[in-house]
Amino acid sequence: MLFVIKVFFQICVILGSLLLMYSPAQGAIPAYDQKNQFNGYHKNINSEPKMITHENFQSQSLEQIPFYKSKYSQFPSGYASKEILSEKLLSKENNDIFYLEKNKQNFQLHQIPNVTAYHLSQKWIEKLSGRSVPADLNQNFENILQNYKTDPLDRGLILTLKKTILRKSPRLQEDREEKLEVTIPENYFLIPISFSKGFVEVIYKKKRGYLDMNDCISKFDFAQFVLPLETLKKSYRTKLTSKSWQLVTHREFDFLKTANDSSSIHLNKIKAFITNDRLAYSFKSVFINEKIQFPTWSQFTIQKAPMTHWVSSQHKNHGVVWWRQNQPFETTEKYITIDKLLSKKIFSVSFDAKKNQAGIISSEDGVYITEDGQYWKAIPQFKNYSGPVYYYSSKIIFIGSYRSFDGGKTFENYIQIDKIADAINNSTGQVARKIKLTQIKSVQPMKVVIEVTTGDQIHTLRSSLFAQNWKLSE
């Protein structure tokens, strides 16, 4: 009996195998490979979506989307259809994609690993919370660009470009007994204490001394706009700030030269400054291939591609994964970079006192506004305006005699010339036949101060923010 059962079982196995090997309707089943799945699929893995196409599945065309362990992973962890990834969605985020450009060539961030952005910062500002945090260049480069920005109040670091001597005093010629006999190595980071006579005061291994600024580089070398320490002057009864944000041309020893009549501002007298966050530098030599190589301290431009929509999902084999849900980036707003904007003639600059990288500029090509100091959006209503501007807050903006309460979307006529003329006439007895607005400021909460010229005289007037009660300051 046992023998009969064994024979019957073997016959069933043979018949089953024969049935599996042949299908009258569709022919032979394609061979299955555990490594490659269906033959030819999953070879030459890259980050591009893949399509399953096979004669047995002509009615199906499944796009295979790469998914990643995190948004900052360089290579995908696997592939899955959009239907599978969409089964258990966890969250959605919008992120910019960054790449590096040099000599009209584009490079992915991971191709040039020894690159630093936010040059020589001690602190960064978290974009989400607005908190100031210690700079950490060990983080993923893309993570830095996505989540941080430079702190305008941070004086930054000093980096030695070569071996240099730590001096006891800020003088090129020293008596031998005054020398500290200390040599600081190349590419060494130091915290600046003060600046004097072309030297920077630092502490190196518990020894305090001075470095020649020709032997090092500082965050000040990348300044584009500078805000001097407030110097107040009496203008009748109103104290009006005589210094505001100014455009920087270059550093000269321990001074920053500005575009305003080539005036100089000492580094010790600077309250805040804004650097070009679109520049990155290689702190080591870069080797891409035999034809593409860059020396130490090569400059790259950080470019931003259209926004990418990131989605996180729960995958049954990989846990939480991230994948890109690319959508067209459509906008009617046109932005230009700070480099292109500064190539134009600048008439007036104003930044938010609390959020220093948000600001407004009037140029020969009109008025532009920014939230990060790097990408500027044109305000179409003022494409031919080139006068004073003032950034009171993220909502309240002044452009000439016009005021906006919605961040620059709509404007109303606020500074009415006839009321300015009446205020001047009532105070001085003179009839102002020609009035030109030259400056707009706020000196205290809810107060606005302006300067106007009447040809041969300059007058300062003030009013409350929400009224037209202009009074001449005596």
Residue 232 has pLDDT above 60, yes or no: no
pLDDT of residue 180: 65
What average pLDDT does this structure show over 144-150? 84
- Euclidean distance between CA atoms 40 and 354, whole angstroms: 58
DSSP, collapsed to helix, strand or coil, labels residue 83 as helix
Instruction: List C-alpha distances in Å: 443 to 86, 425, 446.
Output: 54, 24, 9
Q: What percent of the chain has pLDDT over 70?
A: 76
Residues 384-440 have pLDDT tens digits of 888 899 988 888 889 988 888 888 888 888 888 888 888 888 888 778 778 888 888
Q: Which residues pair with 350 in a beta bridge?
A: 360
Residue 42 has pLDDT above 50, yes or no: no
- Euclidean distance between CA atoms 465 and 152, whole angstroms: 27
Categorize the per-residue pLDDT at 267 as very low, low, confident or very high, splitting at 50, 70 and 90: very high
The token pair that represents 446 in the structure block: 């809810």
pLDDT of residue 55: 37
DSSP, collapsed to helix, strand or coil, labels residue 261 as coil
Residue 46 has pLDDT above 60, yes or no: no
What average pLDDT does this structure show over 330-354? 75
Residues 9-25 have pLDDT tens digits of 565 555 555 444 444 44
191 residue type, one letter:
I
The helix or strand, by DSSP H or E, that contains position 417, with its residue range, turns out to be helix 417-428
The token pair that represents 142 in the structure block: 């893309």
pLDDT of residue 231: 47
